Amino acid sequence: MAEAAAGSVIGFVGLGNIGKPMALRLAAAEALDVHVYDVAPGPLAELEAAGAKVAGSVADLAAAVDVLCVMVRDDDQVRAVLDEALTTARGGLVVVVHSTVAPGTPGELADLAARSGVRLLDAPVSGGPMGAADGTLAILVGGEDEAFAAARPALEAMGTKVVHTGPVGSGTRFKLARNLMHFVSFTAATEAQRLAEAAGLDLKALGDVVRHTDAITGGPGAIMHRETAASIAPDDFWHGVFSHVAALGEKDLGFAVALADELGVDVPLARLAEQRLRKGLGL
């Protein structure tokens, strides 16, 4: 491995389903000197074989690095990692919390870290294990400009879309908004599957069609081009576009709900969408 430049000694805690492939991407980056820690020996051995240095504890890790990435399970584990890291951290350390936590947690942790001269970024990721493995994650980063600049080489080794979303906490809020759509869409997909099954259709074929057409149209993100969710003025370009979307949507939702009624399938999200689509689009 090439000699690391100042600010490029990176620590990583939490080598789970997404954390391990993220850390492997860091270990593969020639300009980064990577140190790792986890409670499980198997992932540590894999990272060591990939060129990373294994630390004996979070405290040892924090004392050795410039940027400490944290990808553990929940708020309590993040707090535990930070508490231990602050016992040995040098002033100027940047802690990057990749775990998805409660909206208020990043601000609380940033205040705690600042008492020790440590800067904190909240940087949850989107893209799952697949994106982590091939380095194409979206990483949503909240925090100060200087801390973001220090962490950026590591972030860009793990993701192809690194977005500085604003102050501490904004990365988490960004991720929660994104995942709201993700899981509501999953719930809508379960309604569609029940309707399709009741109609005697092939559910796997339906899934193939959904993935195929979403890749072409952009899926739910296709409507997300405006800078505001406010109502649209009649002379605005988007008024015509979304009026067309609403007309098609109301027609097709109406037909789908009628089919569900005929087949005795409960589709509450579809009924709600039928009522709220037009207003939600800003019309």
Active site residue 279: no
The CA distance from 95 to 55, in Å, is: 16
Catalytic-role residue among 20, 53, 161, 175: 175
For the stretch 72-77, contacts whose Cβ atoms lie closer than 8 Å and that sit 24 or more positions apart, written own/partner, are 72/13, 72/14, 72/16, 72/19, 72/99, 73/14, 73/16, 73/99, 74/99, 74/101, 75/99, 75/101, 75/102, 75/105, 77/14
Distance of CA 147 to CAs 120, 161, 282, Å? 7, 18, 37
Residue keyed to tokens 């072409």:
216
Query: The tokens 């000197």 sit on which residue?
Result: 33
Question: What is the distance between the terminal CA atoms of the chain, rounded to a whole angstrom?
Answer: 57
Residue 201 exposure: Cα atoms within 13 Å on the Cβ side = 16
Instruction: Name the nearest CA neighbour of 97 among 117, 73, 114, 115.
Output: 73
Closest CA to 165 of 194, 128, 124: 124
Cα–Cα distance for residue pair 248/269, rounded to 1 Å: 17
Q: Is the dihedral of CA 202, 204, 208, 211 positive or negative?
A: positive
Q: Which residues are catalytic?
A: 175
